[in-house]
Amino acid sequence: MNLFIVNYIIGLVLQFEAVFLTFPIIVGLCYREYQCCAAYAITAVICLVLGFVLRRRPPTADNLYLREGFVAVALSWISLSIFGALPFVITGEIPNFIDALFETVSGFTTTGASILPEVEGLSYANIFWRSFTHWIGGMGVFIFMLAILPLAGAHSMNLMRAESPGPSVGKFLPKVRDTAIVLYAIYIGLTLIGMTAFLIGGMNLFEALTMIFGTVGTGGFGIYNDSAASFTPLQQNLITIFMILSGVNYNVYFCIIYGRLKEIFSFEEVRTYFGIILFSGFVISWDIRHFYPTVGERLRHAFFQVGSIITTSGFSTVDFDAWPQLSKNILVILMFIGACAGSTGGGMKVSRILILIKSVQEELRRIIHPHLIRKKHFDNEVLSEETLRSTNAFTAIYFLLFFVSVLLVGMDELDFTTNFTAVAATINNIGPGLSLVGPAHNFGVYSYFSKCILIFDMLAGRLELFPMLILFMPSCWRKY
């Protein structure tokens, strides 16, 4: 383990965070919340100074191998969250540090689970920062760094690999940096288009900004107590559209930009993703027919909730905890499926589910024809053993972590639905679960110990498990 390069990278990330922290200061100045500005300024200075301290020794050799990449990403996300939580504590609006950390991790990992019963009580700067963390965490800090800094070299790919969601991380363009730039360009483009749409839809600038951060980052922090319920139907539909668009594999947008329109229909994953959304949306809108009088209302609520859960955003227009059991079951299943690989969403990813289903088919076929030789295809390409192995490993670890977490948070003696969906909602970066952690409630019911478990789950879920888990491998820390 080369700790120098890890320190150096954490230093860099902290300095970037200092830059990000200037945005809430601007918001604070606009709304004359000078106390908040001071809190953010103090945090920014701490980040900046600590960044310089960590970076005082430039790395001698650029031996940033996969191990260092994973550890650097995991530790950077932890430090990012710790320092991002400071303003909440300093302003006193979330006085307890664990609570503030939960809120910030929930922000950076684009979960959107909150411990606050009253969001509207927060100052504008804090609300803005909460939503802005979604936007930063959505595409990822490292991709941002790679796009801006000439950290060139093949090894910087290891950082991207550790941060990007999906079973196999590819590049659109030969260079890591160009790929990162294109990714961020798409991300910013989507943000700007969405924001314009929201403004036209009648939101004010602050609403449009914070809501679009939560939407394209697939985060889900609302700015009102009732999440997205108080927006007009048009605004809710706009949010639905942009949530679903943000859950699409960014390869599709890349193909659109580069004029390869024929290819966009060839993505098996994206077709399945839309298929699932349409299917679940219609089934739920039928299932909730007794709740809402008009078809339009049923469709709007059904698709908003489906889009919100499958993209792992976690906004809500209604308390879906009150919905019939079938709808709730569908939503819980959608929590696990998650969005497309290569998007800002969380969950297991549609492509992994597809690969797993194909493996199951394969196993069954092998029982019928024991000597059959067949390769599984995905997007017209043969699936490599490597991808299969890592998908299987991911699934195994995912469920192991899931059940261990359910067991641990079970010590709070809450009901099973609460525990099960709380872990599902955090590990998949969704936000609200059912029962006591449903859309109308919050995670404040849990003890600090359980909150720590859930914080870990959120980070592990966002970073695709391995970077967080590798921190617990003793051999990872050995020099040799």
Partner 1 sequence: MNIIIVGCGRVAFTLVEQLINENHNITVIDIDEKKVQYFTEELDVMGIVGNGTDYQTLLRAGIEHTNLLIAVTDIDEHNLLCCVMAKRLEFCKTIARVRNPIYNTETGFLRRELGLSLIINPELIAASEIARTFQFPSEIRIDTFTRGRIELLHFKVTANCLLNNYPLKYIRSRLKCNVLVCIVTRDDDIFIPDINFVFQEGDAIVVTATPADADAFFLKIGIHTNRAQTAMIVGGGTLGFYLARRLSDVGIHTKVIESDSKRCDELCELLPNTDIINGDGMDERLLIKEGLGKVDAFTALTGIDEENVLLSLYAKKISKGKIVTKIKRTYYSAVISNMQLDSVIFPSFLTADYITKYVRSMNQTSDGNMENIFKLENGRAEALEFFIYEPSLVTDTPIAQLRLKNDLIICSITRNGKLIIPTGQDEFKVGDVVIIITTRSRFYDIKDIVKR
Lookup: tokens for 29: 């100045």
User: Residue 180 or residue 355: which is nearer to partner 1 going by CB?
Assistant: 180
Which residue lies nearer to partner 1 by CB, 160 or 211? 160
Dist CA 325 CA 159 (whole Å): 42
* Residue with Cβ nearer partner 1 (152 or 357): 152
Residue 397 C-beta: closest distance to partner 1, Å: 23
Nearer to partner 1, 171 or 376 (CB): 171
Task: Decide whether 29 or 154 has the Cβ nearer to partner 1.
Answer: 154
Residue (94 or 383) nearer to partner 1, CB: 383
Tokens of 469: 């888990």
Residue 134 and residue 219 in contact, taking contact as beta carbons nearer than 8 Å: yes
Residues binding partner 1 (CB under 8 A): 152-154, 156-157, 171, 173-176, 178, 384
- CA distance linking residue 417 with residue 163, whole number of Å: 31
Q: How far is the CB of 152 from partner 1 (least distance, A)?
A: 6
**Nearest 5°: phi and psi at 259?**
70, 15
Of 149 and 404, the one with the shorter C-beta distance to partner 1 is 149
| Least distance (Å) between residue 274 CB and partner 1 | 24
The minimum distance between CB 67 and partner 1, in angstroms, equals 13
Beta-carbon contacts of residue 72 (< 8 Å; ≥ 6 apart): 5, 6, 9, 10, 64, 159, 162
Kindly state the smallest distance separating residue 398's Cβ from partner 1, in Å: 25
Residue in 245, 246, 239 with CA at minimum distance from that of residue 224 = 239
Q: How far is CA 73 from CA 12, 47, 308, in A?
A: 11, 17, 27
Q: Quick one: 255 or 434, whose CB is closer to partner 1?
A: 255
Q: Judged by CB, which is closer to partner 1: 267, or 323?
A: 267
* Secondary structure (3-state) at 377: strand
The amino acid present at 245, given as its one-letter code, is L
User: Distance (Å, rounded) from C-alpha 306 to C-alpha 412?
Assistant: 30
Q: How far is the CB of 149 from partner 1 (least distance, A)?
A: 14
| Minimal distance, residue 154 CB to partner 1, in Å | 4
- For 61, residues 6+ apart whose C-beta sits below 8 A from its C-beta are none
- Residue 381 β-bridge partners: 378
> In whole angstroms, how close is the CB of 478 to partner 1 at the nearest point?
22
Tokens for 191, please give them: 């943000």
Q: Could you tell me which of 105, 112, 115, 100 has the C-alpha nearest to residue 221?
A: 112
CB of 341 vs partner 1, minimal distance in Å: 18
Name residue 378's beta-bridge partners: 381
- Tokens coding 400: 């192991």
Contact 327, 318 (CB under 8 A): no
Strand 377-378 relative to strand 381-382, pairing: antiparallel
